[in-house]
Amino acid sequence: MKISKIFLYDEPSVPEIKISKLADFIKKTFSIDIEIRKNFFQKADKTLAKHLASCRIINTKKPFEFHSASIEEIEFENESFKNSSKIKNIVMYDGFELQKLVSNLISEDENSLDNFHVIFTNRLTCTYDFDDYRYHGRAIICSNPSIISTTGIIEAPAKPRGYYMELISNMTQGLNVDSIKKKYQGSYLEYHDERISTVIEGYVMQALFYHLTGEPFCENKNCRLFNPHWQKDLLHSQIEIGKLCEKHEKNLGKLVFDLNS
């Protein structure tokens, strides 16, 4: 499969994405033309707000069901189009429904296999897992367009076990939550963490590998294509290692050759 152009849609409420730096990284890595665009939802209206609100997850223990969005939900979405930083409370959205919605909004002349779209959002994307019958937060929904959730990057991979154990103790013993956060600071990503820009490079690579090969993830923790369930593994693969494993480095070379031949 060929890609002639990649479109990156920024999320202004998360300047740590560093969209221009990211574009340079992708262009250097894959030798593909890049176009940076503003927030995907910047020109949305109340009709779209209603559709977007209907993608919300109401029951986390049941597969997705559309619901009739309330006036308050629609107004919340409509206001977020004007200023996405208003999305402070975490609202869960079905990732596949959200992906279908944004796909239908891309113009017909750009909605093709050789144009690849990557949409950044601070909305929390989730998918339903039939193994444990509940929704889980996701950092990425791989498809075209691909959606990368900055909130998902922070909230989906779990923090250290000790962090949660001490929080539980805090509820019963009245310990200071801020002191617990300070104790584990650096061991997980936080909002407006400068490391987000580097981590996002790895997620974009996963999206591209999926589009080009059908396989986004790697089982090797020492690879940027590793799909982490813990923050420590996320930071290890993306920050400490910061490169592909030998297998996927070879695959990358072949992909770049095919894309440019």
What is the DSSP secondary structure assignment for residue 23, as one 8-state letter? H
Q: Single out the residue of 219, 221, 242, 245 nearest to residue 232, CA to CA.
A: 221
Tokens standing for residue 38: 């503003």
Sheet (strand 92-94) strand order: 92-94, 124-129, 134-138
In 3D space, the residue among 114, 137, 158, 79 whose CA is nearest the CA of residue 1 turns out to be 114
pLDDT tens-place string over residues 108-118: 999 988 999 99
CATH number for the domain harbouring residue 14? 3.40.390.10
User: Domain of 251?
Assistant: 5-260
CB 234 within 8 A of CB 196: no
pLDDT at 174 over 60: no
- Our count of domains for the chain comes to 1
Of residues 259 and 174, the one with the higher pLDDT is: 259
In this prediction, residue 82 carries a pLDDT of 82
- What does the pLDDT average to over 177-191? 89
* Region 137-154 average pLDDT: 97
In single-letter form, the type of residue at position 76 comes to F
Decide if 117 contacts 81 (C-beta within 8 A).
no
The letter for the amino acid at 237 is: S
141 has pLDDT over 80? yes
